[in-house]
């Protein structure tokens, strides 16, 4: 089973990209499990609609749950889990992720559903250790980071690399697979992402343009591989999916930016837009 984690700043389009990649992999015949690790619990909405979260089910059932309560079948034979989060002002979302992943392992979800690919969709704004649980103890083979050329998005991506360094050792099997660009329309935005990826030391494996077609299919809660399978954007997502399935370069060494260096690079290349 191939296990990957996709991190990125909240609101950067990480879940839209994750769901489109899941759909592309599923269209190739793989059984894909997408696990949403964001308290907002909308990672899998494009695949299976709105579903109860794992943590809500545990609260409602006194800490007990069956697989059918928390694993929801989506389009293209996908499997979907939303871990969810604590009630507002109570508890820790990171600990919720830890609890959710432990339960999925206890219930043997991967074997019982015949999962070929497990994709964790993880919030990247928060540096709490629980949000790095998917990459600890062999839970993930490769990490991919979604970012635009906006400073706040790059800052989150840089922090994710720092968290990665603090969460793994040089001998751990988990690798940094690459950056996935999600453009916001800034000047020289692709160059910003290329410069960032080169400094960090991992490849830029794909750049998704700002396109109303993506927004339209997101609003319709349907991935491009289903709604518009012959489109250029579907082909682009398929290319990124193939690079994830067959990575050419991956490592577990990163060189994060110094804060001021990152700010200076982003401002110089964009003309101080999107800071």
Question: Is residue 9 flagged as an active site residue?
Answer: yes
First to last CA, the chain: 40
Which member of 38, 56, 125, 175 is catalytic? 125
Q: Which residues of 178-191 are buried (b: 16+ CB within 10 A; e: fewer)?
A: bbbbbbeebebbee
Closest-CA residue to 70 (of 85, 81, 58, 59): 81
3-state helix vs strand vs coil in the chain, percent to 5: 45, 15, 40
Burial (CB count <10 Å: 0-12, 13-18, 19+), residue 66: exposed
Which member of 9, 38, 56, 243 is catalytic? 9
Q: Is 123 helix (H, G, I), strand (E, B) or coil?
A: strand
Q: Is 22 helix (H, G, I), strand (E, B) or coil?
A: helix
Question: Is residue 243 flagged as an active site residue?
Answer: no
Which member of 2, 40, 190, 263 is catalytic? 40
Dihedral of the alpha carbons of 148, 177, 82, 14, in degrees to the nearest 10: 10
Largest CA distance in the chain: 54
Question: Is residue 125 flagged as an active site residue?
Answer: yes
Question: Is residue 190 flagged as an active site residue?
Answer: no
- Under a CB-based contact definition with an 8 Å cutoff, are residues 18 and 65 in contact? no
Enzyme catalytic residues: 9, 14, 40, 125
């Amino acid at each position: 089973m191939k296990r990957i984690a996709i991190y990125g700043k909240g609101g950067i389009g990480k879940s839209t990209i994750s769901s489109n990649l899941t759909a592309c992999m599923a269209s190739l015949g793989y059984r894909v499990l997408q696990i949403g690790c964001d308290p907002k619990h909308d990672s899998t909405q494009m695949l299976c609609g709105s579903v109860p979260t794992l943590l809500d089910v545990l609260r409602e059932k006194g800490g007990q749950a069956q697989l059918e309560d928390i694993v929801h079948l989506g389009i293209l034979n996908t499997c979907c889990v939303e871990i969810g989060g604590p009630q507002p002002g109570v508890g820790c979302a990171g600990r919720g992720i830890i609890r959710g992943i432990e339960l999925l392992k206890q219930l043997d979800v991967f074997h019982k559903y015949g999962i070929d690919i497990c994709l964790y969709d993880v919030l990247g704004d928060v540096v709490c250790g629980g949000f790095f649980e998917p990459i600890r103890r062999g839970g993930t083979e490769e990490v991919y980071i979604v970012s635009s050329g906006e400073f706040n998005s790059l800052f989150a991506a840089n922090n994710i690399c720092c968290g990665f360094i603090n969460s793994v050792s040089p001998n751990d099997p988990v690798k940094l697979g690459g950056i996935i660009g999600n453009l916001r329309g800034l000047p020289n935005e692709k160059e910003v992402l290329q410069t960032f990826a080169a400094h960090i030391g991992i490849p830029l494996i794909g750049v998704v343009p700002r396109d109303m077609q993506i927004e339209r299919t997101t609003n319709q809660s349907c991935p491009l591989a289903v709604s518009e399978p012959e489109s250029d954007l579907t082909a682009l997502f398929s290319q990124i999916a193939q690079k994830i399935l067959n990575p050419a370069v991956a490592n577990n060494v990163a060189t994060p930016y110094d804060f001021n260096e990152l700010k200076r690079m982003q401002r110089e290349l964009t003309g101080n837009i999107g800071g």
